[in-house]
A and B are shown apart, each in its own frame.
Chain A
């Protein structure tokens, strides 16, 4: 690429480029203009990036991931404030996990723990695998009303397990301080099927989304409580359900036509 230096030079910042304060002013009030801005692609791109950073509007498919990262940051907050403390490291990312393992193995005085731990794991696994099978207990009141599952934050009035039909509504309990709720319906790989916001504690799933809930296909859903500024207050647990497969035999006992 022989001309890359020329291109870099053309797109680099120049002495007349806007200061951060000027960009901030322009980002806050898009009706304002600046003579330099119209002729400087560099400043235009800086302004576009600043606006993107300032914007609280999430993209359609990023709500659940943003909530997940926010809760990760919440858990790691002490580590953020005290990066020297090793006890919080290694929850996310393979690099940090490798470092943790290396440090553990590098500590000569606890090397003997590794084979001992391996023996314990093998023993526990054997017990779990070879213990006699036992049927789960059945609750007499199961199915008599909507069970409430307590999640980490937002309580979901459950829609979990196998459902006879694709559900029409999703419900949860009001979270104190929440102005809105963001609801996401996802496939098992967390690909968003549908997401919407409401200030109510229930939401109707559109027919087009319900049509994607095929029998036997697991579907996930989650509610995020947001404050009036659009900030995440709480996140429900990831609920999982599926629509029951239809029996080839109809209720009348005959095969469907």
Chain B
């Protein structure tokens, strides 16, 4: 869904802010057409990076663009791993990927949104790759509630039945769970995200974090499934 990095309209960008001047003596703050480099929007920096006439100029823009996003990427990775060495590795990989694909960023979205797509996909892939961790975390909360959900495979291997079951599950989730439960449930079961990562990512401050929301979501879903089954039975299915 969000795996593309490119877009296509430059109209998004702010109007040209003037000609580029050389950086000042210290090299830490450059003046771009009367506007300090650090006051330029991320998107403007990316545009100027693409249009820079020489490598020194492009370095100036990309350095500022990336440095101002270090903390954002670091925070994201830290919430996924809660281990600063692993988070540092992930952050470095994300920024390397972003740098390699920077020319594909055309300003269709904010730069931070574009960076989010890379960070999101990279961290989720890293979490999924760590199968052992995922198994341990899921074993901690998984019970038999899934067995009660109607399953297309149980009756016949037809796409139609699978779709009908999925639609029903989707309806039950929407009908029975509150917003946080839905988000936690989707991130854990749909994205394979560990519960402690969800807790940190969403800033959940309750004592047992995401686990409490999963437990209540499962309880509610199990009840809704039972009610659904009872209604089907009454209707003579």
The chain A residues found within 8 Å of chain B, CB to CB, are: 1-13, 17, 20-21, 23-24, 38-39, 41-42, 44-46, 48-50, 52-54, 56-59, 62, 65-70, 72-74, 76-77, 79-81, 83, 92-93, 95-96, 229-232
- Expressed in whole angstroms, the minimum distance between the Cβ of A40 and any Cβ of chain B is 8
Supposing A3-B147, A6-B169, A7-B169 touch, asked if A73 and B91 sit within 8 A by C-beta, the answer is yes
CB atoms of B92 and A66 under 8 A apart: no
With a cutoff of 8 Å between Cβ atoms, the chain B residues found around residue A83 in the complex are 96, 100
B190 contacts A44, CB within 8 Å?
no
A5, A69, A80: residue with the most chain B Cβ atoms closer than 10 Å: A69
Is A11 within 8 A of B96, CB to CB? no
Q: A24-B113, A92-B89 are in contact. Are A45 and B182 (CB under 8 A)?
A: yes
- Chain B residues with CB under 8 Å of chain A are 1-2, 62-63, 66-68, 70-79, 84-89, 91-92, 95-96, 99-100, 108-110, 112-113, 115-117, 119-120, 142, 146-147, 149-154, 162-163, 165-167, 169-170, 173-174, 177, 179, 182-183, 185-187, 189-191, 200-203
Contact A53 B120 (CB under 8 A): yes
When the two chains form the complex, which single residue of B88, B120, B202 contacts A92, counting CB atoms closer than 8 Å? B88
Are B202 and A52 closer than 8 Å at their CB atoms? yes
Contacts of B87 in A (CB 8 A): 65, 69
* A/B interface sample: 24 pairs, CB < 8 A: A1-B146, A2-B151, A4-B146, A4-B189, A5-B153, A5-B162, A7-B189, A20-B117, A41-B173, A41-B174, A48-B201, A50-B116, A52-B76, A54-B113, A56-B72, A59-B79, A62-B79, A68-B88, A69-B84, A72-B88, A72-B92, A81-B99, A92-B88, A95-B89
Q: In the complex, are the beta carbons of B117 and A6 less than 8 A apart?
A: no
- What is the interface of chain B mostly: helix, strand, loop, or mixed? helix
Residue in B84, B165, B179 whose CB lies within 8 Å of A6? B165
Partner of B95, one of A54, A59, A80: A80
List chain A residues, Cβ under 8 A from B185.
11, 41
**Contact partner, B1, options A1, A13, A58, A96, Cβ 8 Å:** A13
B75 near A3 (CB under 8 angstroms)?
no
**With A20-B109, A52-B203, A232-B71 as contacts: A44 and B183 at CB distance below 8 Å:** yes
Shortest A194–chain B CB gap in Å is 17
Known A21-B108, A59-B200: A12·B190 in contact at CB below 8 Å: yes
**Which residue on chain B has the smallest CB distance to residue A71?**
B70
Partner of B78, one of A2, A6, A65: A65
